[in-house]
Every structure is written in C-alpha cells, then in structure tokens.
Amino acid sequence: MEYLYGLLFGTEPDTTDVDARHALHAKLDALPDRDAQIALTADELRLLKAEMRGTPPKRQHGGGDELFVRMRSDLEEDHDAKTADAVVDAYGASPLKPNPLAKRRPSPDLLQLRKAVQDAGPLHDLISERQLSSSVPKERRRTLETALSCVGEWGFDVWAVADAFQGDTLLAARAIVDAVVFEARGFRAASTSHLLRQVVAKMLASYQDVPYHNCLHGADVLQAMHALLNLSPSFDDALDDDVVLVTLLACLSHDVGHPGLTNNFLVETGHELAIRYNDASPLENMHAAVALNLAKPYLRTRPPEEQKGARALWIGLLLATMKEHSHQIYELERALSKATERGSTYEACAPAHHVPCLKIFIHACDVSNPAKPWAVYRRWTSLVMEEFWRQAELERERGLPLTVPRRGATDLAKFQLGFISFVRPLFAAADRIAGVEMGLPLRHIDATARRWQEEPSRVEEGTRE
Ligand code: AMP
Ligand code: ZN
C-alpha cells in the first residue's frame, strides 16, 4: 500500500538527502536482474520517482487552506500524475497507525515498476495496467476474476478481491470501481471516460490509510449501491444514466480524507477540521468539499444547465449520513403513511421520489455491513472496531472522556446488536417503497442478529495483540 501511496501522493522528495539516495541505489544495485522482489519504503519510492521524473525539491504545505488551492491548481492545470494527497498534506496524516492489512501488500517488482513508470502516461493508468498484470500472481487471478464476476450481486465478496491483492486496498478498490463503473454500468463508452478514470483515481487516492474508513470502504459503498439498484430494476431503469453515475461517484467519495476519528473527537481536540467548519459536522463538510473539488473536471463536461443539478445531487447524497439517519426514517415513514391514507403507494419511480430514494439508498449502503453475508460483515466489523479502539486509546492518552468502545472491554455481541437495531428500521422502511426490494438485505440482517444472539462468548474480541 505504502508504495502506491508514495506514487500517487507524489510527495516530493528531499533532494538534499544524499545518504538516502545512496542507500537506495545500493539497494537497487544489489538486486538480481530478473524477478527481483523488493519492498521499497514510501520514502525510497519518492526518491526513485523523483529521479525518473526530475522533479523539483520538496514543497512545504502552508496549512489547511493549501488543500483547496492545490486541488484547484492540480485539477485545472492538466490532471497530471503529480496529484498530491492534498488531504494528508493539508491536515496531516491521521494519528491512527496504518491499516494492519496494508502490511500484507505485495512487493512490487522493481524492474516492471521502472519500465511502467517510464512507459506510462498518467500514473492512474499505471495502476489499472498493473493491477491484473503484475500485482496479482497467476494463481490468484482466477479467484479475483470469479469474485469480480459477482460484482453486481448483493452478496459480492469484497474480501476475495482484497485478498487477491494481498490486502492492498487501493488496488482492490480500483478493481471494484472499474468492474462496476466501466464494465457493468458501461460508462467506458462515454467520451469523458478518460477524465472519469482520473477523477476516480484522485478520489481513491484522497482516502487515508486507516483501518475502516479507507478507499475500500468507498468502493464497497459504490458496489453496494450498484447491487441495490440491481435488486430494484424498475427504479434503476427509471433513473437517468447521469444520475446513476453521480450517485455511484458520490458513494465512492462519501468518506474521502476520513482520518478514522469521529466528529466528536475532532471537536473535542480542536482539530483543524473542527476549526474550519465551526464544530459543525466537520467530517461531512470536509468529505463534501473535497469530493466536489475532485469532481469539478467531470462536472464541467456536463452541459451548463445540468452542472448545478449534478452538484446539488452529489452534495445532497453526501450529506445524507448518520446524522440524518432518524430524520430520514421519520420522513420516509411519513410519506409511506400518507400514500397509504390516499389508498396509493409511494413509488420510487416517480421522478419527484428519485432523490429521496437515492438518499435512503446511499445511507443504507453506508451502514450495510450487517445486511451482508456473515463472512463479509464480520471482517468489516473487525476493522470498524479496530478504528474505534484506536480512537479510544487516543482518548485515554489525552485524558478525554471515552466516547467509543475500548479494546479488551467491548461486549461485541451487545454492541453489534445495538448497531443492528439502529440500522434495521432503515432497510425495513425502504422495503415498503413500491419498486424497491430490500428482502435480501433484511434476511441477512436478521441472520446476523440471530448469530450474535446465539454467540456463546460475548466478549470475543478486543484483546491486545
Ligand atoms: P460512515 O462514517 O459514513 O461510514 O458512517 C457509517 C457509520 O456506521 C460508521 O462511522 C460506523 O461508526 C458505523 N458502522 C458501520 N459498520 C459498523 C459495524 N459493523 N459496527 C458498528 N458500527 C458500524
Ligand atoms: Zn462511510
């Protein structure tokens, strides 16, 4: 993971670091000619990349505002390969430790990497070229292809894809997005598809390497949306292609830049994001601002009269989050009851209901772990708990009140049953919309709940590694 982040984030190397350059060259020179497997650190890759490209010396970022300045200039200039991870640069990397899965990344083959860097145009293309050709050894390619062939299904096994890439979340996420957006949904044919690929690459690169809220979660929500629309074909058919595309991209970008910490933590600690947004939903505001900045080049390809609507839809979908959860259910139930009183039904296909239904859908996808097959759900749960536990450790270190579950002291079954009882009413209400089919997710939710109720050991996780 580190190596791709090194490439994508494009942090410029410190060219005065002669010792590091010498050490890197010694390491490269010691490699055998063929099939050289080498794990480079992010710093080493930056040096290598700089030498190949002859990049200028390191540029210091100038604080939070730099985020927007750099994004704008990067996007308006030429969408080149030097897109920096503006979020990390501007706000600093998350204080959480890197995702433990990331350690199991594949070692890049240096010779191939060199050749690819020299031959390739934009680095975004390099990723997709590389992902099937060199990142996935032959024996795992079949598993990957089998898993991706089910990308339209609700029971899609995201972990089969992640495992095929040995836990490299960026490559796995990229493969899933490609399979949905460019293959299954056919946006490959669009004249804007090259630009779209660049926007997608930037969105993926703008996720941080935290246990749960990393780019694989973004891709997972996108895949879940695709599958949920497939389960409700009449609603899917009623939507314009542009609306579907904006919806999928909103799913992909809904948590960009997430530091793996809650709004509450950011506010309590006076984090830069909390200051920027006056303590008001700093995460959601940041996700929307970053996502919409990244989306600009794509939005500009739309006719002017459509741009405003697409932007409004995108923002509306991004803000249909946890905070809106109860309100969303309340509003939907009210609309359903009104329709029943009139002796009719609330139809997803009615144009006026498209956006409200898509808001329900994106939020449902965001909290859909317990509505997935157990094995898929269980791994997401381990990661979300890991993220909570790390925050709890930071809270303890800083003497803050504990606001999230603590490692070694979590009654996981109880916690999950609580989450499930919070999530289920959303799916149940959505199932009452005419043209929406939530039977399968609801059956999974009930099966997941039953399993926790039967779980013999209640504190099964949370011991220190
Ligand atoms: P988001 O932060 O946008 O991903 O909002 C969804 C929220 O749902 C996450 O922040 C988590 O707090 C919560 N969540 C998702 N999956 C689980 C899970 N399996 N257990 C507990 N909380 C979860
Ligand atoms: Zn999310």
User: How many angstroms separate the CA atoms of 43 and 115, rounded?
Assistant: 19
Residues 293 and 75: beta-carbon distance below 8 Å = yes
Average the pLDDT over each of 45-49, 59-63, 153-157 and give the range with the smallest value: 59-63
What is the value of pTM for the model shown?
Answer: 0.76
Nearest ligand to the CA of 403 is 1
> Region 100-111: what's the mean pLDDT?
38
Structure confidence at residue 26 as a pLDDT band (50, 70, 90): low
Active site residue 213: yes
Q: How far is CA 240 from the centre of its chain?
A: 24
pLDDT at position 14 is 38
Catalytic residue among 213, 353, 354, 444: 213
> What are the distances in angstroms from CA 149 to CA 159, 161, 320?
14, 11, 30
User: How many angstroms separate the CA atoms of 391 and 402, rounded?
Assistant: 9
Q: Is the pLDDT at 30 greater than 80, yes or no? A: no
The number of the ligand 1 atom at minimal distance from the alpha carbon of 416 is: 20
Measured in Å, residue 4 CA sits from the centre of ligand 2 at: 22
Q: Is the pLDDT at 357 greater than 90, yes or no? A: yes
pLDDT at position 321 is 80
Measured in Å, residue 214 CA sits from the centre of ligand 2 at: 9
- Ligand 1 pocket, mutate which of 254, 361, 369 (most atoms under 8 A from CB): 369
Nearest ligand to the CA of 383 is 1
> Region 24-39: what's the mean pLDDT?
50
For residue 35, how many other CB atoms are within 10 A of its CB?
10
User: How many angstroms separate the CA atoms of 263 and 201, rounded?
Assistant: 26
Nearest ligand to the CA of 322 is 1
pLDDT at position 414 is 94
Tokens of 162: 């992640």
Q: Is the pLDDT at 112 greater than 50, yes or no? A: no
pLDDT at position 68 is 34
User: How many angstroms separate the CA atoms of 339 and 337, rounded?
Assistant: 5
Q: Is the pLDDT at 133 greater than 90, yes or no? A: no
Length of the chain: 465
The pLDDT > 90 percentage for the chain reads: 60
Q: Which residue has the tokens 């890991």?
A: 386
Residue identifier of the C-alpha nearest atom 13 of ligand 1: 367
> What are the distances in angstroms from CA 38 to CA 31, 107, 108, 126?
8, 6, 6, 18
Tokens of 15: 């060219």
Nearest ligand to the CA of 281 is 1
SS3 434: strand
Structure confidence at residue 63 as a pLDDT band (50, 70, 90): very low
Residues 167 and 101: beta-carbon distance below 8 Å = yes
Measured in Å, residue 376 CA sits from the centre of ligand 2 at: 16
Residue identifier of the C-alpha nearest atom 11 of ligand 1: 384
265 vs 90, higher pLDDT: 265
Residue identifier of the C-alpha nearest atom 4 of ligand 1: 366
Of 439, 430, 434, 233, give the one whose Cα is nearest residue 348: 434
Structure confidence at residue 79 as a pLDDT band (50, 70, 90): very low
Residues 214 and 172: beta-carbon distance below 8 Å = no
- Ligand 1 pocket, mutate which of 367, 377, 415, 444 (most atoms under 8 A from CB): 367
The number of the ligand 1 atom at minimal distance from the alpha carbon of 377 is: 19
Measured in Å, residue 455 CA sits from the centre of ligand 1 at: 21
Structure confidence at residue 118 as a pLDDT band (50, 70, 90): very low
Measured in Å, residue 125 CA sits from the centre of ligand 2 at: 26
List Cβ neighbours of 176 (8 Å cut-off, separation of 6 or more): 148, 151, 158, 161, 219, 220, 222, 223
> Region 24-45: what's the mean pLDDT?
51
Measured in Å, residue 155 CA sits from the centre of ligand 1 at: 19
Residue identifier of the C-alpha nearest atom 18 of ligand 1: 381
80 vs 150, higher pLDDT: 150
Q: Is the pLDDT at 137 greater than 90, yes or no? A: no
pLDDT at position 120 is 39
Q: Is the pLDDT at 175 greater than 70, yes or no? A: yes
List Cβ neighbours of 299 (8 Å cut-off, separation of 6 or more): 307, 310, 311
- Ligand 1 pocket, mutate which of 419, 424, 448, 461 (most atoms under 8 A from CB): 419
> What are the distances in angstroms from CA 238 to CA 215, 244, 353, 354?
29, 10, 11, 8
The chain-wide mean pLDDT, for the chain, equals: 78
> Region 323-335: what's the mean pLDDT?
94
Q: Which residues line ligand 1 (CB under 6 A)?
A: 255, 321-322, 366-367, 369, 380-381, 384, 416, 419
**pLDDT tens across 388-427, in order?**
999 999 999 999 999 999 999 989 999 999 999 999 999 9
List Cβ neighbours of 61 (8 Å cut-off, separation of 6 or more): 70, 89, 90
pLDDT at position 310 is 95
The pLDDT > 70 percentage for the chain reads: 68
pLDDT at position 102 is 39
